Amino acid sequence: MHNAVISTLLNHRSIRKFKPQPLSEEQIKLLVSCAQAASTSSFTQSFSIIGVEDPEIKKQLRAISGDQPYVEENGYFFVFVADQYRNKKIGDQNGADTSVLDTTQRLTVALGDAAFAAQNMAVAAESMGLGICYIGSIQRDIEKTAELLHLPDYTFPVFGLAVGYPDQNPEKRPRLPFENIFHRNVYEEKGNEDALNQYDQKVADYYHTRTGGRRDETWTEQITHGLSVPPRLALKPFLDKHHLGRR
């Protein structure tokens, strides 16, 4: 049942080191076209993509993201934006009541559209022999990110996507077992402790191998630790300030 698309999907891994080789203009346009071909709720196309080419902006986004070098050193850096501004302008020009754009429902539409587009681009890039890495940490200082990218009201930077020619071949990170992720008909409070325990050991082995023995963390330990990480509390005020999802 496997084909080239399925093989590309199943072989995904995040790339965090790229060769110093820029993407061509043809590659950039093809990747954006693939992103645009993704599903969009009610055909609103509520997203935009910013291609970051300015070295200084990339450098500052790297700093915002916790000094991750692959934010700056890649073949090309895209930022996916949940965008209601375009539709706000259309509504204003045609005398429509645009207050509907400042609702949770429309925010989820824009977030979904941006995510669908980004994943289309990611799969397209990997099918071309390129590597990708999602960068959610551009939200660590979301006001600074918005300022750098000159984002207007009614927009929200969802994540970056670093794309380029891989300069590493990391081992594929194991995913949760089928029985821990898939439910039939209703959400099942079924536990599957044995499968989860086996998965924990598999993840610990993966980290041990990847780090040369410096890390042996299980998946459940990683999740538990993540709950103690301070949340990005600036996101909700940012959404309120920029007229997104307030009701």
Residue 203 contacts residue 218 (beta carbons within 8 Å): yes
Euclidean distance between CA atoms 3 and 80, whole angstroms: 29
Other beta carbons within 10 Å of 155? 25
Helices (runs of H) and strands (runs of E) counted in the chain: 11, 4
**DSSP one-letter string for 39-84:** --GGG---EEEEEE--HHHHHHHHHHTTS-HHHHSSSEEEEEEEE-
**Tokens 């073949």, residue located:** 75
pLDDT at position 189 is 78
pLDDT tens by residue, 69-93: 999 999 999 999 999 999 999 999 9
Euclidean distance between CA atoms 77 and 65, whole angstroms: 13
pLDDT tens by residue, 183-240: 889 998 776 788 889 999 999 989 888 888 898 899 999 999 999 988 898 999 999 9
pLDDT tens by residue, 132-168: 999 999 999 999 999 999 999 999 999 999 999 999 9
> Token digits for 87?
């539709």
Residue 78 contacts residue 160 (beta carbons within 8 Å): yes
Euclidean distance between CA atoms 38 and 131, whole angstroms: 19
Tell whether the model's pLDDT for residue 1 goes beyond 80. Answer: no
Distances in whole angstroms, Cα of residue 221 to Cα of each of 32, 197, 237: 38, 12, 31
